[in-house]
Each structure stands twice: as C-alpha cells, then as structure tokens.
Amino acid sequence: MFYRARPTYPASALSFIRSTLPNSPPFNILEIGAGTGIFTRALLAHPEWKSVVGELRAIEPSEGMREQFSATVQDDRVSIKAGSFEETHVPDGWADLLVIAQAFHWCPDYDKAVTEFNRALSPNGRVVLIWNLEDARVPWVGQLRNVYEAYEEGTPQYRLGLWRQAFSTLSYIKCFEPPEEKRFEHSVKANLPAVIDRAFSKSYVAISPDEVKAQIRKSLTAIVEKGEGKEWIDEEAGAFKYPYITTVVILKKREI
C-alpha cells in the first residue's frame, strides 16, 4: 500500500501517548483540528487504544473536512462538530486527553487556546501535540523540501517552531508543567506519484498557479528519479521508503 498525500502516524508514537495517561479508561478524548480523520482512524485502530476510548469529540472548522471525516470515521463513540482552539464546546474538565495532530502551528491566539485547554481538561488530563514531518536528513528528501518550502510565503509552518511561543504565555506558565517532547523515526512505503501527492497536499502548493505547480512537479520528479540516498523496497515496482520524523509533545496540567 502506498500512502497518498498525508501519511498516518507510527504505532510507537500512539503507544507512547497511551503510556502518558495516568487516569483509568475509558477515556474522554477531545481532538481539535481533526481534519479528515487521519489521526482519529489511526488511534481507533491501534490495539492499545481501540478498547479504551469512551467518547471522542472531534472539532474541525472546515465544513468540507468535517464531511470527509464523517464519511471515513465510522464509530458510534465518535462525533465531530465545528469549533476552534479557543472554543471546543465540551463541559469543564471533560477531557482526559486533548490531542492536536498536524494543526497547532495554525493557532491564532496561544494564550486563549491554552486557557481553553485548561478548562476542558480533567485534573490529570494531558494535551498532546503531534506532527509528521519529512526527514530532511536524507538527501533526496531534503532536496524535495527545498523546492516546495520556497513557496511557503510566511505561513506559520510547523518546522519554524513558532508554536513554541505558547509555552511562554501567562496561561501556560500558570496552568501547565514544562512540555515533554519525544521523536519517532519511521518511514512509509511510497512511489513517485505518492511523493508528488504529498507535496501538493500542502496548502501553499495547492493554491499555486498552474504554471508554478508544473515547475514544482518537474523539479520533484527529477529529484526522486535521481534519488540521492533513496532506499528501495521494491525497485521493479517503483516502491521506496519515504522517511519521516514524528514529534510528540506532552503538556501536563499543574497540580492545584
């Protein structure tokens, strides 16, 4: 199976998240910025998670993504509605786990968001921030990123680390312990079309003019075909490893 566009999350990262929860299941889970449900599906399918989820309430501002989420996440314990980082609609202290996958770097107001996280979490609750990012230490992957990241045009991408400003807000210092961070190296099975799809799933590439997209496609194709440092899975079938680093950040509420 080739991952097209956005990859899923490694099982080891999901196991680590499970190990950080001190409460006993079933768990109430709040997922903000759930998108089309990539993280949600991975969590529900994981052997350490699928039987311990009590209820999962997903929040997603995009109507189109909510529709796709509802079509692909089939579980009676799961619901999705409109909301934001600052307005999650759950009762005070409801969530044992608040998770934000591939989205926190888009938060417009960290202080307000952290205040909402604190309100929504149970006394022993955790916030988990998680991101997948292509591993630029591998030459061909770094070359890919040099091509498409040139079109970011000042957007607050995860790799820039602007989201770390949240940890210096007054709300964070008052309500949460210093963040804990862990990284997981892994790879997904890919081919040239999958790599192209991944690049074109990035918002700043998706909105580029057609002539720019054509140039990006040409450059990416040349890089993948040259394949400096590429590790084949099945060369005859065009399958190779696409390396990623998954970063998990754990935020723990301060004890009162």
CATH of the domain at 57: 3.40.50.150
Asked if the structure places residue 38 within a domain, the reply is yes
Asked if the structure places residue 160 within a domain, the reply is yes
> Taking residues 61-66, what's their average pLDDT?
96
pLDDT tens-digit readout, 14-37: 999 999 998 889 999 999 999 999
Cis peptide before 26 (omega within 30 of 0): yes
Other Cβ atoms less than 10 A from the Cβ of 116: the count is: 21
Asked if the structure places residue 169 within a domain, the reply is yes
Asked if the structure places residue 16 within a domain, the reply is yes
pLDDT tens-digit readout, 116-165: 999 999 999 999 999 999 999 999 999 999 999 999 888 899 999 999 99
Q: Is the pTM of this model over 0.75?
A: yes
Six-digit token string for 94: 């409801």
R_g of the chain, CA atoms, integer Å? 19
Residue 202 has pLDDT above 80, yes or no: yes
- Residues contacting residue 39 through CB under 8 Å, at least 6 positions apart: 9, 31, 99, 101, 102, 130
pLDDT tens-digit readout, 204-254: 888 899 999 999 999 999 999 999 999 999 999 999 999 999 999 999 998
Asked if the structure places residue 18 within a domain, the reply is yes
Asked if the structure places residue 172 within a domain, the reply is yes
Q: What's the number of domains the chain is made of?
A: 1
Q: Which domain holds residue 57?
A: 11-136+155-188+244-252
> Taking residues 180-192, what's their average pLDDT?
96
